Each structure stands twice: as structure tokens, then as C-alpha cells.
């Protein structure tokens, strides 16, 4: 089994496994795509269960019979080998069913039939409907484009492979990456782990930190002031050290030699047997690695594309675009640490969080979080106001949340029909509020990862300044909205470089309402 990441791979039929023959009811017209059989056999050999998830509206339209469809499927299995389950939607778009992709029903059905959960499945398909169905179920999506795949579908996809063999190679590579090549013979002593960045960055590093904690006697986490509140919510951490690192901080002050000497002394006082330095793909671990060497830490592990000299004992490399939680897990694995059996590679918070200091409404509610620590990733206030009004008109109770510095924003947005909770709670209280929500509407900011950690579905108003596959909500049901091909794509801009903020300014409030219905029906 490909634990801890995946149990099953779900595959679209037409255009992914076989040539797309519209409304095909003839087994003689089945033509497997190049390399499909060998790719599927690689998955079977790895112990992965396989299912097909396919829309077949030709049944509803009378273009072929169910018997003819089964004959086509038998021919596909004759050519490509057996599948463990076939999940078929027989409806047309006009039927309003819950199974036709982009709805997540087929993914849920296949996961149940295979004895697993959607978050442990990968869906490989050739169009945007496949990716939307995967995300809405909380599964991983990999797009294999064909000539009929639209450019905007490619831009929106969480991951893209050239063909089915390439998608399978990526699935197997990801699974291997989170397994230690050389497992540890015993537990480590004191391990210093580092993640000095914002709350969201700390949260997505949680699985990697838990993997270290599973193999260590004691874990000390070095974090920055912006990530302190999130660090306090992570399981597996025994002690926190808060320190601002000028090579990581987004608004750095000049380097103070005395401050660096104090930091080095503090690190030495930890008495760490080793250190694991977690970073984002654009950050360097080497300045801190130098201080760790000066503090006497005997073993240092980090991801580094730059030559580290003698600063690192374990120099790990991770491909660009890997989801941040898996990137962190891959570094932990390179250092010899792995999640214990039974611990899912999901975001998680420690147990026993305090109740929020506000009274929550009885029954279901939707949370809208309009703010962001990075302005380019925030939906414009006027559009958030329209979203709240549309949700309220659809019958939802809407809570509008934000930090102490966002009270003016939340009051403006909530005035359209929501309840203003801006500045009324800390991050732990916000986690409890989000945990009780039917859905969270939010940009690419810390609360999106907070929702993933408590299992609340996310309508992600995602500005494409950073890759969605890397920073989108991890393994939680999600609908992505916004222009994925906007001019700001992959710029990592903190302030929107395009007038009018078109990537999110054009989000239709009706699309948000439809997304909430898809994620939290009934």
C-alpha cells in the first residue's frame, strides 16, 4: 500500500484511459491511450486499488444501453487489466444529480467501494470537471491535458502531467518521498525544528513536525512572532522559542549582530541533538544553519538548492510545486522521521482548544473571512460584501471573522447581512468557530489552512500569485474560484500588480453560493 499518502487512484475513462469516442457504445471502437496498460500495472504492483469514475450522459440521452456500456467496460478491462470498481453517472447536466462531475458524488462512491476515504485518493482526468470533482471531495487531482482541454482548465489544475504514465510516475514519486530511505534504529533525543514565518506556513508544516515528534524524545520549535499563535496549536511540540529572523521576515529590520549572538546562545542552550529546518521553496535555510553550527548542533537537515558546504548533514531537494505539507514530510523523511501508523498526513491541531469568547448561533452557519496578511491575496471588500449578501439571501447564517486590525473591514462586510465577529477572538477561538461551520469562504491565507486542520470545507478565493497545488487547502473538500490565469500568476506579489485586482474582483457571488451548496448540501 502507498501509505501514508494514498490508497487508491481513480481514473476518468474517455480521454484518460482510452481515446475519446463521443457516446461510445461499441467495444470495437475502444482504443487505449499510449502507455496506459504499463502505467496501470505499475500502480497495481505497488498495491494501489484502481477505480474508474466516468460521466456517461449517453445513457440518459438514449445513445446506448446499459448493456452496451458494460460491454465497452469489459473490453477496456480486457485491454488494460481489471479495475476494482466502476463508478458511473448515467445522468445529463439537466438532471441536477450529485454524482455527475464536477460534483463529488462519484469520488465518494468510489472511495466507499474501495474501503478508503476521498482524501486518500488521487483522481487523474483530462478536463476541469475531473479536477473540480476531486477537489470538492477532498481528493488529490492530477490533470492530463488533451487537445480538448481548455487553457483555463490547465491553469486551474492543482497538478498537471504530460500523460497518464507521467501522472503515475508523479503519484509514486510523492508516495516514496514521505518514506524514510533509512529508518531510524531508535528515537532521537532533543530535536530543534524550525518554521519561522506566518500562521499559515506553520500550520502546513504540522505533518512534518508530527513526524519528527514521533521519533524524538523532545521537540523544540523555533518560530517567528507572526507564527507563534499557530505554533501553540500544533501537536507534538514540547517547547516554543519565538525569534524574528531577518532573512525570513517579510518586513525585516537591519541585521543586529548582538541579536544574532543572543539567538546563537539561546539555540546552544536547547542542547539539541539535531535540527530540522523547514522553509518555503523561496527561502534559504543556510543562514540559520550557520548559527546552528556555531551553537554546536551536531546534525542539521534542510531543503537547499544552494551548495551548503559543511552547514548541512542532510541536504534534501524537493520538486517545485509539491503541496507544502508533503514538502515538509519529505524533509522529515530525508532526516529519518516518519508519521506513525494511524497518523494521517493531514493538517491537525492539538486537542482541547478553548471555546471561543463569542456565542455561536444554533444550527448551521457559514464563515466569511475577508482579510489576509498579504493584500494581493484578499478578495476586494466590496466583492466580499456582495458575497455575504448573496449567502444571506440564500438562507445562510453568515459569520464574518477577522483579526483585531480588521474590525473596520469586517464591520463593512458584515453589514450586508452577516454577524460581525472581527477582533473578538484569538486564533484558537477562530479555529473553534471555523470547526463548527458548514463551510469557510476565504482567500489564500492562514484561516484556509486552519479550516483544513479542523476538516471544514473551503470555498477558496485563490489569487494565483503562488501555485494553488502548493498552497491550496490540503486534503479538505474545496472549490476554487478566481481567475487562475490572471496576469499576477506566479509573481509572488504581496500587493496586487494589476489595477482592479481582476483575479478576485471578478468572482461572481452566485458562484460562491453554488460552491457552498456543492460542499455543504442540504
In a domain? residue 348 = no
Residue 492 has pLDDT above 80, yes or no: yes
Average pLDDT over residues 55-70: 96
In a domain? residue 356 = no
In a domain? residue 483 = yes
- HSE-CB at 90 with a 13 A cutoff on CA atoms is 11
Final residue of a structural domain among 335, 358, 385: 335
Burial of 483 (0-12, 13-18, 19+ CB in 10 A): buried
Rounded distance, CA 48 to CA 71, Å?
A: 25
Average pLDDT of the chain?
95
Rounded distance, CA 363 to CA 437, Å?
A: 9
Three-state DSSP class for residue 519: helix
Q: Residue 450: which residues within 8 A CB-CB, separation 6 or more? A: 199, 203, 230, 349, 427, 430, 431, 434
**Candidates 12, 130, 420, 483; catalytic one:** 12
Under a CB-based contact definition with an 8 Å cutoff, are residues 381 and 412 in contact?
A: yes
194 and 173 share one domain: no
Nearest C-alpha neighbor of 91 from the set 129, 57, 66: 57
386 and 415 share one domain: yes
Rounded distance, CA 479 to CA 411, Å?
A: 26
Rounded distance, CA 125 to CA 13, Å?
A: 8
In a domain? residue 357 = no
Confidence (pLDDT) at 177: 94
Residue 1 has pLDDT above 50, yes or no: no
- HSE-CB at 414 with a 13 A cutoff on CA atoms is 21
In a domain? residue 33 = yes
Nearest C-alpha neighbor of 88 from the set 68, 110, 67, 103: 110
Under a CB-based contact definition with an 8 Å cutoff, are residues 239 and 509 in contact?
A: no
Q: How far is CA 197 from CA 251, 446, 475, in A?
A: 11, 11, 22
Digit-coded pLDDT (tens) for 248-296: 988 888 999 999 999 999 999 999 999 999 999 889 999 999 999 999 9
DSSP 160: B
Final residue of a structural domain among 290, 314, 335: 335
Residue 426 annotated to the active site: no
**Candidates 7, 14, 126, 420; catalytic one:** 14
291 and 410 share one domain: no
Average pLDDT over residues 99-114: 97
In a domain? residue 360 = no
Confidence (pLDDT) at 362: 76
514 and 370 share one domain: yes
CATH of the domain at 448: 3.40.50.2000
213 and 174 share one domain: no
173 and 219 share one domain: no
Confidence (pLDDT) at 182: 82
User: At 115, is the pLDDT very low, low, confident or very high (cuts 50, 70, 90)?
Assistant: very high
160 and 196 share one domain: no
Residue 313 annotated to the active site: no
Final residue of a structural domain among 178, 206, 231: 178
Nearest C-alpha neighbor of 87 from the set 103, 95, 75: 103
28 and 164 share one domain: yes
Digit-coded pLDDT (tens) for 401-416: 999 999 999 999 999 9
Confidence (pLDDT) at 481: 98
Counted domains in the chain: 3
72 and 127 share one domain: yes
Q: Residue 257: which residues within 8 A CB-CB, separation 6 or more? A: none
Digit-coded pLDDT (tens) for 348-371: 999 988 777 788 887 799 999 999
Digit-coded pLDDT (tens) for 430-488: 999 999 999 999 999 999 999 999 999 999 999 999 999 999 999 999 999 999 999 99
45 and 110 share one domain: yes
Average pLDDT over residues 222-241: 97
Confidence (pLDDT) at 497: 83
515 and 400 share one domain: yes
Confidence (pLDDT) at 355: 77
Nearest C-alpha neighbor of 425 from the set 436, 439, 417, 438: 436
Helices of type H across 272-357 = 286-294, 324-334
* Enclosing domain of residue 270: 188-335
User: At 2, is the pLDDT very low, low, confident or very high (cuts 50, 70, 90)?
Assistant: low
Under a CB-based contact definition with an 8 Å cutoff, are residues 52 and 86 in contact?
A: yes
The strand pair at 274-277 and 239-242 is best described as unpaired
In a domain? residue 346 = no
273 and 210 share one domain: yes
In a domain? residue 277 = yes
Residue 127 has pLDDT above 60, yes or no: yes
Amino acid at each position: 500500500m502507498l501509505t501514508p499518502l494514498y490508497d487508491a487512484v481513480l481514473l476518468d475513462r474517455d480521454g484518460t484511459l482510452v481515446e475519446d469516442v463521443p457516446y461510445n457504445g461499441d467495444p470495437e471502437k475502444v482504443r487505449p491511450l499510449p502507455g496506459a496498460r504499463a502505467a496501470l500495472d505499475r500502480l497495481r504492483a505497488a498495491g494501489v486499488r484502481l477505480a474508474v469514475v466516468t460521466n456517461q450522459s449517453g445513457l440518459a440521452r438514449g445513445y446506448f444501453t446499459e448493456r452496451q456500456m458494460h460491454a465497452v467496460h469489459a473490453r477496456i478491462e480486457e485491454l488494460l487489466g481489471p479495475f476494482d470498481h466502476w463508478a458511473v453517472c448515467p445522468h445529463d447536466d439537466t438532471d441536477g444529480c450529485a454524482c455527475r462531475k464536477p460534483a463529488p458524488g462519484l469520488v465518494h462512491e468510489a472511495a466507499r467501494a474501495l474501503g478508503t476515504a476521498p482524501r486518500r485518493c488521487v483522481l487523474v482526468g483530462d478536463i476541469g470537471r475531473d479536477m473540480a470533482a476531486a477537489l470538492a471531495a477532498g481528493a488529490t487531482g492530477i490533470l492530463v491535458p488533451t487537445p480538448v482541454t481548455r487553457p483555463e482548465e490547465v491553469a486551474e489544475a492543482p497538478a498537471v502531467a504530460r500523460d497518464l504514465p507521467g501522472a503515475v510516475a508523479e503519484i509514486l514519486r510523492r508516495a516514496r518521498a514521505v518514506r524514510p530511505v533509512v529508518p531510524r534504529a531508535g528515537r532521537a533525543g532533543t530535536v530543534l525544528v524550525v518554521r519561522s514565518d506566518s500562521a499559515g506556513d506553520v500550520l502546513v508544516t504540522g505533518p512534518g513536525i508530527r513526524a519528527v515528534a514521533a521519533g524524538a524524545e523532545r521537540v523544540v520549535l523555533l518560530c517567528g512572532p507572526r507564527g507563534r499563535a499557530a505554533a501553540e496549536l500544533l501537536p507534538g511540540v514540547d517547547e516554543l522559542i519565538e525569534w524574528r529572523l531577518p532573512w525570513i521576515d517579510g518586513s525585516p529590520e537591519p541585521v543586529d549582530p548582538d541579536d544574532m549572538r543572543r539567538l546563537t546562545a539561546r539555540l546552544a542552550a536547547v542542547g539539541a541533538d539535531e535540527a530540522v529546518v523547514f522553509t518555503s521553496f523561496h527561502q534559504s535555510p543556510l543562514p540559520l544553519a550557520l548559527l546552528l553550527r556555531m551553537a554546536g548542533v551536531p546534525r542539521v537537515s534542510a531543503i537547499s538548492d544552494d551548495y551548503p558546504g559543511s552547514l548541512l548533514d542532510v541536504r534534501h531537494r524537493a520538486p517545485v510545486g509539491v503541496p507544502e505539507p508533503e514538502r515538509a514530510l519529505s524533509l522529515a523523511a530525508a532526516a529519518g522521521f516518519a508519521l506513525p501508523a494511524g497518523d494521517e498526513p493531514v493538517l491537525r491541531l492539538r486537542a482541547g482548544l478553548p471555546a471561543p469568547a463569542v456565542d455561536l448561533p444554533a444550527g448551521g452557519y457559514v464563515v466569511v473571512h475577508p482579510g489576509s496578511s498579504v493584500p494581493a491575496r484578499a478578495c476586494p471588500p466590496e466583492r466580499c460584501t456582495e458575497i455575504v449578501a448573496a449567502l444571506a439571501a440564500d438562507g445562510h447564517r453568515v459569520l464574518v471573522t477577522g483579526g483585531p486590525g480588521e474590525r473596520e473591514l469586517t464591520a463593512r462586510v458584515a453589514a450586508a447581512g452577516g454577524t460581525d465577529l472581527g477582533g473578538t477572538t484569538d486564533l484558537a477561538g477562530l479555529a473553534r468557530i471555523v470547526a463548527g461551520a458548514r463551510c469557510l469562504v476565504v482567500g489564500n491565507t492562514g484561516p484556509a489552512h486552519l479550516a483544513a486542520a479542523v476538516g471544514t470545507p473551503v470555498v477558496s478565493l485563490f489569487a494565483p500569485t503562488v501555485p494553488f497545488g502548493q498552497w491550496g487547502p490540503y486534503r479538505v473538500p474545496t472549490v476554487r474560484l478566481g481567475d487562475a490565469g490572471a496576469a499576477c500568476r506566479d509573481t509572488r506579489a504581496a500587493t496586487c500588480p494589476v489595477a482592479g485586482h481582476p483575479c478576485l474582483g471578478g468572482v461572481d457571488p452566485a458562484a460562491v453560493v453554488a460552491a457552498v451548496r456543492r460542499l455543504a448540501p442540504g
